[in-house]
Structure 1
Amino acid sequence: MVPEGWKQSEVGDHVDLLSGFPFKSSDYSDDSDDIRLLRGDNIGQGQLRWRDAKRWDKDQYEQLAKYHLNLGDFVIAMDRTWVTGGLKVAEVKDHDLPSLLLQRVSRLRAHPTLDQRLLRFFINGYRFEQYVKSVQTETAVPHISAKQIKEFPIPIPPLPEQRKIADILSTWDAAIEKTEALLATAKAQKRALMQSLLTGKRRFPEFEGQPWKEVRLGDVGLVSSAGVDKKTEDNQPEVRLLNFLDVFRREFIFDAELNHVVTAPSAKLEQCNVKRGDVFFTPSSETRDEIAIPAVAAEDMEGVCYSYHVVRFRLSEPWDMNFRAYVFQTDDFRRQAYKLGDGSGQRYVISQGNFRNMTVRVPSIPEQAQIGAILKAASGEIGGFEKQLTKLRTEKKALMQQLLTGKRRVVVDA
């Protein structure tokens, strides 16, 4: 039942929906000054990605006015519309223009009966995501049709109430965008600090003139893999598993965060245990950029074993705990990992031998401690912004559920 004064409708009654033009790939341009073509591959979750964009002769741009994209248009990939993480739906921004709409992408513009900003919230909302998941075909290439988009049911309030709802939700969007900008700045500042402090380009006065040493990982610690698999056997003791994502998503790993229970042979309990200060790496990934990502065990972890999907590096030198978390994040270390990754495009792997041969430059323990403390503080600032951003997004999502269904009504000025 729709609220009093609202009407049950469908998106197609209130938008101009256009599917793209079938540009021939054989006629694509190699000139970077030509017009970008918006394909489904260019649409991410909430933004357009123009890496490896295909282009069309700019001299033909005016002839294709029907397929011009405008500021504020919404675009939806018709193939694989729903992917892990969300929908391939985005709003066209200034920096996305000029561009042309390619087939298998739909463009939505609101009619005067629907506030364009409210369309944004309908399309980016939970209900539309669930709708797409329910109607998307389960073929080799899952897809939806323009007709299915048009048939998405929406309750429509009167225009004054639409504008008020859009004003409220836009305020939340502004707060989210501001926090995203602060987060991006904090990450850039931390990255700059890392590249200056961890390379010795920037020194603390009390350490000026003191030499750094370059060390090979195999000479200052033990690199080991062959961890525990994810199986459960009745005759084996239970253990908690430190997995790939536990490393990939963190700088420091804490015991309370690990809750994946499996079993392991008794011999593995000691062989694959986790001690405070152990550094873990992701030895493989689908891209070269995601191999050798580090994380440090922040404490001894009783009853925890590391997975066969990660590599453990147990230092024989007393490096500062915070320093351990950041020294393997430098551009130089990332370049080494990129070069040493063996693979063919589907999977890249760094062997134990290559891990042992990777090198880092380290200062004295007191200088390590100062560097580590500064970078840990920078990470703390980033973590604060990330928590704030999560809170804002969660609150906005709940508010959208109430406002866009009329469960919570707004007061419209007379």
Structure 2
Amino acid sequence: MTPPESRPAHVYVGAEADGPSTDTSKISLSGWRRVTIGEIAVVGSGSTPDRTKDEFWNGDIPWITTGEINYGVVEDSEEKVTHKAIEYGLRLFPAGSILMAMYGQGATRGRIAELGIQAAINQNSCAIICNSEVVSKYIYYFLENNYNFIRGLSNGGGQHNLNNGIVRELEILLPPLPEQRKIAAILSTWDDSLSTLTRLIAAKRQQKRALAEQLLTGQRRLNGFEGEWETLRFGDVFIRITRRNIEGNEHALTISGTHGLIDQREFFNKRVAASDLSGYYLIRRGEFAYNKSYSAGYDFGAIKRLNLYSSGVVSTLYICFALNRADADSNFYEQFFEANLLNEGISGIAQEGARNHGLLNVSVKDFFELDLPFPPPPEQRAIAAVLSTLDDEISALDRLQASVQEQKRGLMDALLTGRVRVNVEDA
């Protein structure tokens, strides 16, 4: 739902938030009542101690920023403050407080987290300290379920920000205490499952990274393979692609570290390429591209193979190339590039651009002179198969996690609006 331009003093966000809607007027909500956050909790803000005063910083008291408010439980912070900062007025919030990010044009604004420790927070966030008549975790889930709606309540102007007044005025559906506890307990089990999946995915990714580095560099050999690997020039394995877009292809691509070569409209929600794409390079499925001009630290060394589409076009800033040997395995080299194993070589030939301040440029000539390992073709294929199997396992876990998250969203909407009631006899 799009929030009205002028809202009432109290804003009911219960069943009107994005997601499955529920007409609560047709639901029997015996014992439930509508309350504002301000009626059942204290809402407080943080602040930033004077950074010019060393005695306020590098202490042992956690100081939470909005970037660290990203659901789950916050147990530590990157920056710490001293007891002197507390003496000079910096407020401490108790464990169990619900934190909300108030500022941020991306996904940050409106995100929440539970404070697992006593900590201070910055001025761009608020802490919600619930009283004894409510279950803090129930309020946490209610706010999570209404994230998109709450973001829409931000003040206008140059920046869209939330504030303590908006948070206090939020009106929610509050069931009796036993039902709050039961709903919170049910949803917590789903969060536990999601946390387990997150750990499994992280462990599997780490396993793949470690194995990839060993296998792709010859530090570890698969059974049945021995002997020295060749070292070839990049230009001995690949040939540069400079075909122009004479066929009028409108599929403008960009490189994403996560998604690979992807349509700009899917990645940016708009096309950022020039209106005339005739001068762009046309690449086809299975060919590779590298952006030879990049801001330092942004997708450094990212080389991607075109997998998602049959063809597309990229800026002439990209170095495009295809395999030039019939015995080279494309999947092996895709894994090699994904492991960022060409980064050291690229960093050695990168030069600061004379005309583009802040950009680094890689000479095409130097790029094709880089060294590449060339294992025997059967070993290339075997290594690629092992690593692709791990990729498939990671993708399966990612899909499972997305499915569980979607089921949790549906369950939250049902339980937090009273559309589905819980049995509280054993709560």
Query: The TM-score by the shorter chain falls in which range?
Result: 0.7 to 0.9
Matched, 1:155 2:173: yes
Deviation at 1:185, TM superposition (A): 0.8
Q: Return 12-21 or 155-164, whichever deviates more.
A: 12-21
Match of 1:364 among 359, 373, 376: 376
Summarize deviations over 1:322-348 as a string: whole Å, max 9, x none: 212211133542344456375789766
1:128 and 2:147 equivalent? yes
Equivalent residue, structure 1, for 2:389: 377
Residue in 2 aligned with 1:213? 230
Compared CA separation, residues 320 and 353, structure 1 to 2 (3 A): same
Q: Give the equivalent residue in structure 2 for 1:326.
A: 335
Root-mean-square deviation (Å):
3.8
Is the aligned partner of 1:306 residue 2:313?
yes
Bigger shift: 366-375 or 286-295? 286-295
| Secondary structure of residue in 2 paired with 1:182 | helix
- Residue 31 of structure 1, CA deviation: 6.7
Q: Give 5+ residue unaligned stretches, structure 1.
A: 229-235
Contact 2:301 2:340 in 1 (8 A): no
Taking structure 2 as the reference length, what is the TM-score of the superposition? 0.77
Distance 1:61 1:22, change over 3 A: closer
Whether the 8 Å CA contact 2:130–2:136 is kept in 1: the answer is: yes
Q: Work out whether 1:244 is the aligned partner of 2:274.
A: no
Q: Mean alpha-carbon deviation: is it higher for 70-79 or for 180-189?
A: 70-79
- Deviation (angstroms), 1:11: 1.6
In the TM superposition, residue 68 of structure 1 has moved relative to its aligned partner by 2.5
One-letter amino acid of the structure 2 residue matched with residue 328 of structure 1:
F
What is the number of residues matched between the two proteins? 391
Measured after TM superposition, the shift of residue 193 of structure 1 is: 0.5
Distance, in Å, in 2 between the alignment partners of 1:157 and 1:391 is 28
- Superposed, which structure 2 residues align to 1:86-165 within 5 Å? 87-93=110-116, 97=117, 99-125=119-145, 127-139=146-158, 141-165=159-183
* Correspondence for 1:12: 38
- State the distance in 1 between where 2:175 and 2:204 align: 40
Offset at residue 400 of structure 1 (A):
0.9
Give the CA deviation at 1:199: 1.3
3-state SS, counterpart of residue 91 of structure 1: strand
Q: What does residue 21 of structure 2 align with?
A: none
How far did 1:85 drift?
7.1
Q: Deviations over 1:254-297 (max 9, x none)?
A: 9xx99x9999989779x613043x12335555552513323334
Contact (CA 8 Å) 2:208, 2:390: kept in 1 or not? yes
Distance 1:381 1:345 in 2: 42
Q: Provide structure 2 residue ranges, at least 5 long, that are not aligned to the other structure.
A: 1-23
Shift of 1:116: 1.4
| Amino acid across the alignment from 1:109 | I
CA distance in 2, matches of 1:77, 1:86: 5
> Given residue 35 of structure 1, which amino acid in structure 2 is its aligned partner?
I
Contact 2:75 2:115 in 1 (8 A): no
Aligned pairs (5 A) from 1:53-72: 53-57=78-82, 59-60=83-84, 63=87, 67-72=91-96
Residue among 203, 214, 230 paired with 1:196: 214
2:49 is aligned, of 23, 28, 32, to 23
Letter in 2 for 1:306: V
Residue of structure 2 equivalent to 1:231: none
Q: Which moved more, 1:347-356 or 1:3-12?
A: 347-356
The alpha-carbon distance between structure 1 residues 252 and 24, as it changes in their structure 2 partners (threshold 3 A), is closer
Check if 1:273 corresponds to 2:283: yes
The CA distance in 2 between the partners of 1:266 and 1:31, in whole Å, is 52
User: Is the contact made by 1:327 and 1:360 (CA closer than 8 Å) also made in structure 2?
Assistant: no
**Aligned AA for 2:324?**
S
Contact 1:28 1:55 in 2 (8 A): no
Greater shift, 185-194 or 2-11, is seen at 2-11
Which whole-Å CA distance do the structure 2 matches of 1:33 and 1:253 have between them?
45
Say whether the 8 Å CA contact 1:215–1:361 is kept in structure 2: yes
Query: What do the CA deviations read for 1:78-107 (whole angstroms, capped 9, x no partner)?
Result: 222x524774432234xxx56422323211
TM-score, L = length of structure 1: 0.80
- What do residues 381-404 of structure 1 show as CA deviations (whole Å, max 9, x unaligned)? 100100000000011111111111
CA distances 1:181-232 after superposition (whole Å, capped 9, x unpaired): 1111110100111111111110124322x2223333234323346976xxxx
Identical aligned residues as a percent: 22
